[in-house]
Amino acid sequence: MVGGVFIWAGLLKIFDPLGFAQGIANYKAFPLGMSFFPALLLPWIEVICGFFLIFGIFLKASAILLSGFLTVFLVLIVVTILRGLDIDCGCFGSLSGKADYKLLLVDSVLLFFSLMIVFSEEKAMILKLR
């Protein structure tokens, strides 16, 4: 599930990098000129990690990286809500919803499942060593 969500979200952003760069700029959390580079790089990482999760390649590393992304997204959403900004999250390109409490819940669920992958993989590795 987590892998598919990140593949979908990443592909939507890959096809509209300028829109995603504007979405990043809307958070007003980074210097204005710094939104374009992450807009080009982050979607590819999301897609690659999503495929890795689905196919079980670099499972733990991919889940850790995506968990880190989700943690940063959650912090950004909380800061955005506290600052009173009424913006789209930019998560799904032109299909994005508002950066609000509903998005906090969705990203928290995704983080939960991503962390489950991290810790279940660790347990599987321990069992293989015995």
Closest CA to 104 of 60, 67, 83, 73: 73
Residue type for 74, please? L
pLDDT at residue number 114: 96
Which domain, by its residues, includes 112? 2-129
pLDDT at residue number 29: 87
DSSP 98: B
pTM, two decimals, is 0.86
pLDDT averaged over 10-residue windows placed end to end, the chain, 130 residues: 94 94 90 88 97 94 96 95 92 84 94 94 48
CA distances from 23 to 26, 61, 70, 88 (A): 5, 27, 16, 7
pLDDT in tens, 69-83: 999 999 999 999 999
Specify the number of domains making up the chain. 1
